[in-house]
Structure 1
Amino acid sequence: MDTVPTLDLTPWFHGDPDDRKEVAARVDAALTEIGFLVVTGHGVPSDLRERIREAAKRFFAQPEEVKRAYAATVGERGWLPPGVEANAYAEGTETPPDLKETFAAGADRPIGHELYDAEWFRPNVWPSEVPELEGLLTDYMARMRALSDELLALCATALGLDAGYFAPYTEHSSYTLNINRYPPLSQLGTPEPGQFRIGPHTDFGTVTVLDRQPGAGGLQVYSEEAGWVDAPYTEDSFTINTGDLLAVWSGNRWKSNRHRVLPPDPSAPDEELVSLIFFYECNPDAWVEPLRPPIGRTTLDPVRAHDFLMERLDAITVG
């Protein structure tokens, strides 16, 4: 498989058992071969995503001194300015910082554990200049969590397990929603050599749910057969990919694949893109027991979610 397949989830949600098995088989094939798929029929209204983009753009358009009041770094809540993140560092590649700015929100209900609460359940920061952002993102994150839980049920079925296999591990799940703004070339100037909107990397958690816009400087996925290939864009879809933790959980049956977002292209100097990226993990204290053969492909040691994820987040933080 040298491209990202597209899959309609309608038969999973509304079909009979055979329909659901067919969807699960296609998910297994996609995650085994390339680690990505594009899904339609997901049930999340497109107008909500557009209202989020409009509100986020109003925040990003604020003067820097206003945004600085909400400044944060990787893993925190608030505004991540340009220059604080270089995703390629996670795979050991030194690159200039990624060409983006981010507003981050996420799980914010403490679970009563000092360490985990401090790292994974920080209070969200809501800009008073764009008050509607709080309600929009709270609604969206609830929908993303429900969809991600359903995707994990689909993943469990694809592995030949009970659909509820992952559910006990996500009762107090950590998750983050990043709104990434990729500024236009006309604002940035010429990128440095090796600089991307997001450098080559893998994601870290279970599943990532990406709502993106098409563009010349868009998403690419690595194919062992074809090299870097453009991810297909379908209207009203989400791009889904396996994170490192789920790949380990599957006993390396599934691929957590490298991907990148290209730098702004000279052919579209005024192209500005805004992506909504939902990173879903599991309970920070969960011990993940990788599935052994014949489901898994290799025998791996258990990992604690908190330790596994923190090591990767630390790697991509600049400074």
Structure 2
Amino acid sequence: MAADTAAAPAIPIIDLGPYLAGEPGALEATAAQLRHVNETIGFMTIVNHGVPAALVEEAFAACARFHAQPLEAKLAVKANAQLQGYVPLRGSTTRHSKINPDNKPNENEAFFMKRDGEDAGAPDRWPADLPGFREVALRYYDAMDALAQRLLPLYAVALDMPPGHFGPFCDRPLSGLRFTHYPPAEYGANQFGIAPHSDSSFITLLAQNKVPGLQLRTTAGEWIDMPVIPDSFVVNTGEVLHRWSNGRFINTPHRAYNVSAGPRYAIPYFFHPNPDTLIEALPTCRVPGEAPRFEPMTVGDYMAWFRNQNYDHVRKQDAA
């Protein structure tokens, strides 16, 4: 699954330090960088983001601990219809995306978490015999939510809106954290760790992985490797922001795999607005005389459609 490296563009690196420190002009300057990234490639690496490296390492270790359990223990917290809990190996098939036809089930297993009121996930969807796991996962979840919230003014200004525009739509976010295990595999035709797709999110925050395996597709149609930058996060635009910006911010397709000799883990955080938020084209993104590119849809409705498309246990339940 080699990348097309001949004319691969550099993935932009954005330093959040000046913005997070409140330096004069940093909001506007950083938003201008972000605007260019999201209108041209849709992926970036952020550094000086304020998330402790030790917490990221704890989250990766918790992910590995969960997946090291016997299958029976993991199936005891099998995912519900809201996608909270464990999805077994090959328990998902990427169907919402038309980038690659006839995808086979994804070669990964994952544990999904959501925050719901004072808890994250359904009460019975936490592993019973992993002391400290829930606490680490929640601390990481909170750190990711805090980072996403700090990024919202940048996205608003980048889209020519007031800095506080997105805040009221994201104060009860329908976000999710996923602890994913990609076992070593030999991939056949239409087979991937996770098949080519664009994310459902507003944005996705992905801690850099020491084991490479993430590739993105450029606007020229070439697949390139995402470089590993220590102590950084990969950030990409999801479908919700793509729709909200009337297609102005691109939701770049990407895929993942593991051709190493050992396990590969990923801990992506998918940041979504409030479930009742209506996603319709921002006024600054509409083209005079043209209808918006997408029909308005609430975040909750979009996510229900997304789950039904890709996760086999949800499809079976809805078909029953």
State whether TM-score is above 0.5. Answer: yes
Match of 1:97 among 95, 100, 105: 105
1:202 aligned residue: 198
**Kept after mapping to 1: 8 A contact 2:172/2:273:** yes
**Kept after mapping to 2: 8 A contact 1:77/1:122:** yes
**Kept after mapping to 2: 8 A contact 1:59/1:129:** no
Query: How far 1:73 sits from its partner (Å)?
Result: 5.5
Match of 1:86 among 78, 90, 93: 93
Match of 2:306 among 305, 312, 316: 312
- Structure 1 segment 1-319 matched on structure 2, within 5 A: 2-72=9-79, 75-87=82-94, 89-92=95-98, 93-109=101-117, 122-123=122-123, 125-185=125-185, 190-216=186-212, 218-225=213-220, 227-262=222-257, 264-265=258-259, 268=260, 270-292=261-283, 294-296=284-286, 299-300=291-292, 301-318=295-312
Secondary structure in 1 matching 2:73 = helix
Percent identity, aligned pairs only, is: 29
**Kept after mapping to 2: 8 A contact 1:121/1:174:** no
Deviations 1:46-100 (A, max 9, x none): 111211222222221111112111111674222111111122x111332111111
Query: How far 1:213 sits from its partner (Å)?
Result: 1.0
Between the aligned partners of 2:78 and 2:221, the Cα distance in structure 1 is 40
Q: What is the TM-score normalised by the length of structure 1?
A: 0.87
Secondary structure in 2 matching 1:274 = strand
**Kept after mapping to 2: 8 A contact 1:220/1:260:** yes
Between the aligned partners of 1:71 and 1:121, the Cα distance in structure 2 is 12
Query: How far 1:166 sits from its partner (Å)?
Result: 0.5
**Kept after mapping to 2: 8 A contact 1:199/1:261:** yes
153-162 vs 120-129, greater mean Cα deviation: 120-129
Q: How many residues align?
A: 300
Query: How far 1:15 sits from its partner (Å)?
Result: 4.3
Deviations 1:232-270 (A, max 9, x none): 2100000001111111111211001111013x32xx3x1
Query: How far 1:307 sits from its partner (Å)?
Result: 1.5
RMSD of Structure 2 on Structure 1 (CA) = 2.2
Secondary structure in 2 matching 1:38 = strand
Between the aligned partners of 1:24 and 1:219, the Cα distance in structure 2 is 25
**Kept after mapping to 2: 8 A contact 1:76/1:122:** no
Secondary structure in 2 matching 1:17 = coil
Between the aligned partners of 1:75 and 1:6, the Cα distance in structure 2 is 34
Between the aligned partners of 2:163 and 2:305, the Cα distance in structure 1 is 30
Query: How far 1:225 sits from its partner (Å)?
Result: 2.4
Query: How far 1:193 sits from its partner (Å)?
Result: 1.9
Query: How far 1:296 sits from its partner (Å)?
Result: 4.1
- Structure 2: 5+ residue stretches without partners: 1-7
Secondary structure in 2 matching 1:103 = strand
Output the amino acid matched with 2:234. T
Output the amino acid matched with 2:96. A
Output the amino acid matched with 2:223. W
Q: What is the TM-score normalised by the length of structure 2?
A: 0.87
